[in-house]
Structure 1
Amino acid sequence: MSKREGLRADSTHFTLGGAPFLILGGSIHYFRVHRAHWRDRLLKLKACGLNTLTTYVPWNLHEPERGVYLFQEQLDMEEYIRLAGELGLWVILRPGPYICAEWDLGGLPSWLLQDKKMKLRTTYSGFTSAVNSYFDNLIPRITPLQFKNGGPVIAVQVENEYGSYAKDEKYLSFIKEALLSRGISEFLMTSDNHEGLKCGSVDGVLQTVNLQRLSGDVQHLAEMQPKKPLMVMEYWSGWFDVWGEPHHVFSAQEMISIVRELLDRGISINFYMFHGGTNFGFMNGAVDLGSYKPETSSYGSVVLIFMTTGTIIMYILKGYVTLVRLCKDAGLIYTDINYRSKLNLSIFIRLQSLKWMPVGQKPTYPAFFRGTLVVDQPTDTFVKLPNWSKGVVFVNGQNLGRHWSVGPQKALYLPGPWLKSGDNEIVVFEELKAAETIHFAENPEYSKTVEVSTQLFCTLL
Structure 2
Amino acid sequence: MQRRDFLRLTVLTPLAALSSRLVAGTAASGMPVERMPDGQSHRLELSSQHFLLDGRPFQIRSGEMHPIRIPAEYWRHRIRMAKAMGLNTIAIYLMWNALESAPGIFDLKSGNRDFVRFIKLCQEEGMWVYLRPGPYVCGEWDFGGLPPYLLRHPDVRVRDKGDPDYMAAVRRYLDAVAPHIAPLMVGRGGPILMVQVENEYASFGHDLDYLKLLRSMWQERGIEGPFSISDGLGQIQKQQTYLPGAVLGLDGDTDFEAAQKIAGEAPVWIGEGYPGWLTHWGDKDFARGDYAGTLRQLLEQGRSFNLYVVHGGTNFGFGAGANAKDDYSHFEPVITSYDYGAPIDERGAATPDYHAFRKLFAAHAQRPLPEVPATPPVIRFAPVTPVAHASLWDNLPQATPVRAPQANELLFAQDHGLVLYRRKIHGEGGALTIDGARDYATVFSDGLYVDAVSRVENPRLRKGSRVDLPRGKGKSALVDILVDSFGHVGFGQAMADRKGIVGSIRLDENVLEHWDVCSLPLDDGFIRQLKPVVSAPSRAGIFFKATIRLDQLGDSYIDMARWTKGYLWINGHLLGRYWNLGPQQRLYCPASWLRRGDNELLVFDMHQTVAAPIEGVTSLHA
Q: Does TM, scored on the shorter chain, surpass 0.5?
A: yes
Deviations 1:40-73 (A, max 9, x none): 0000001011000100111111111101110112
In the alignment, the residues of structure 2 paired with residue 93 and residue 436 of structure 1 have an alpha-carbon distance, to the nearest angstrom, of 44
CA spacing shift, 1:417–1:324, aligned 2, 3 Å: same
Question: TM-score, length-normalised on structure 1?
Answer: 0.88
Residue from 324, 341, 353 that aligns with 1:288: 324
CA spacing shift, 1:93–1:328, aligned 2, 3 Å: closer
- Name the structure 2 match of 1:365: 540
Count of equivalent residues:
430
In the alignment, the residues of structure 1 paired with residue 94 and residue 209 of structure 2 have an alpha-carbon distance, to the nearest angstrom, of 23
Tell me how far 1:230 sits from its aligned partner: 2.6
CA spacing shift, 1:322–1:156, aligned 2, 3 Å: same
In the alignment, the residues of structure 1 paired with residue 279 and residue 596 of structure 2 have an alpha-carbon distance, to the nearest angstrom, of 33
Residue from 513, 529, 536 that aligns with 1:350: 529
- Name the structure 2 match of 1:174: 213
In the alignment, the residues of structure 2 paired with residue 110 and residue 98 of structure 1 have an alpha-carbon distance, to the nearest angstrom, of 12
* SS of aligned partner of 2:546: strand
Deviations 1:405-430 (A, max 9, x none): 11011110001000011100000101
Partner AA of 1:420 in structure 2:
R
Deviations 1:84-112 (A, max 9, x none): 00100000100100010001111111111
Contact 1:122 1:167 in 2 (8 A): no
* SS of aligned partner of 2:193: strand
Residue from 166, 178, 198 that aligns with 1:139: 178
Partner AA of 1:77 in structure 2:
F
- Name the structure 2 match of 1:449: none
- List aligned pairs for 1:308-327, cutoff 5 A: 308=362, 313-319=375-381, 320-326=383-389
CA spacing shift, 1:25–1:170, aligned 2, 3 Å: same
Asked if residue 126 in structure 1 is aligned to residue 165 in structure 2, the reply is yes
Contact 1:7 1:186 in 2 (8 A): no
Contact 1:386 1:435 in 2 (8 A): no
RMSD: 2.2
Contact 2:320 2:336 in 1 (8 A): yes
* SS of aligned partner of 1:178: helix
Tell me how far 1:293 sits from its aligned partner: 1.0
- List aligned pairs for 1:409-424, cutoff 5 A: 409-424=584-599
In the alignment, the residues of structure 2 paired with residue 431 and residue 411 of structure 1 have an alpha-carbon distance, to the nearest angstrom, of 17
Deviations 1:209-254 (A, max 9, x none): 111x65xx33321232345433101101111111011234435xx4
In the alignment, the residues of structure 1 paired with residue 206 and residue 265 of structure 2 have an alpha-carbon distance, to the nearest angstrom, of 29
Asked if residue 262 in structure 1 is aligned to residue 441 in structure 2, the reply is no
In the alignment, the residues of structure 1 paired with residue 534 and residue 315 of structure 2 have an alpha-carbon distance, to the nearest angstrom, of 30
Q: Name stretches of at least 5 consecutive residues in structure 1 with no aligned partner.
A: 335-341, 447-461
Runs of 4+ in 1 over 4 A off after TM superposition: 308-312, 342-346
Tell me how far 1:445 sits from its aligned partner: 1.9
In the alignment, the residues of structure 1 paired with residue 392 and residue 571 of structure 2 have an alpha-carbon distance, to the nearest angstrom, of 25
CA spacing shift, 1:327–1:121, aligned 2, 3 Å: closer
In the alignment, the residues of structure 2 paired with residue 413 and residue 245 of structure 1 have an alpha-carbon distance, to the nearest angstrom, of 19
- Name the structure 2 match of 1:165: 204
- Name the structure 2 match of 1:187: 226
Partner AA of 2:116 in structure 1:
E
In the alignment, the residues of structure 1 paired with residue 566 and residue 73 of structure 2 have an alpha-carbon distance, to the nearest angstrom, of 27
Partner AA of 2:80 in structure 1:
L
Partner AA of 2:387 in structure 1:
V
Asked if residue 385 in structure 1 is aligned to residue 447 in structure 2, the reply is no
Tell me how far 1:333 sits from its aligned partner: 6.2
- Name the structure 1 match of 2:601: 426
In the alignment, the residues of structure 1 paired with residue 324 and residue 94 of structure 2 have an alpha-carbon distance, to the nearest angstrom, of 23
CA spacing shift, 1:6–1:246, aligned 2, 3 Å: farther
Partner AA of 1:371 in structure 2:
A
Partner AA of 1:285 in structure 2:
G
Q: Name stretches of at least 5 consecutive residues in structure 2 with no aligned partner.
A: 1-37, 344-353, 363-370, 398-520
Contact 1:154 1:187 in 2 (8 A): yes
- List aligned pairs for 1:62-461, cutoff 5 A: 62-73=99-110, 74-123=112-161, 124-198=163-237, 199-211=240-252, 214=254, 217-251=255-289, 254-289=290-325, 290-300=329-339, 302-303=342-343, 304=354, 305-306=357-358, 307-308=361-362, 313-319=375-381, 320-326=383-389, 328=391, 331-332=394-395, 344=523, 346-351=525-530, 354-355=532-533, 363-433=538-608, 434-445=610-621
Contact 1:238 1:248 in 2 (8 A): no
Contact 1:190 1:200 in 2 (8 A): no
- Name the structure 2 match of 1:19: 56
In the alignment, the residues of structure 1 paired with residue 267 and residue 207 of structure 2 have an alpha-carbon distance, to the nearest angstrom, of 27
Deviations 1:242-294 (A, max 9, x none): 1011234435xx41111111222221111100000000011111010231111
Contact 2:248 2:267 in 1 (8 A): no
Percent identity for Structure 1 against Structure 2: 33
Tell me how far 1:297 sits from its aligned partner: 0.5
Tell me how far 1:363 sits from its aligned partner: 4.0
CA spacing shift, 1:327–1:104, aligned 2, 3 Å: closer
In the alignment, the residues of structure 1 paired with residue 392 and residue 296 of structure 2 have an alpha-carbon distance, to the nearest angstrom, of 63
In terms of Rg, which structure is larger? 2
Tell me how far 1:330 sits from its aligned partner: 5.5
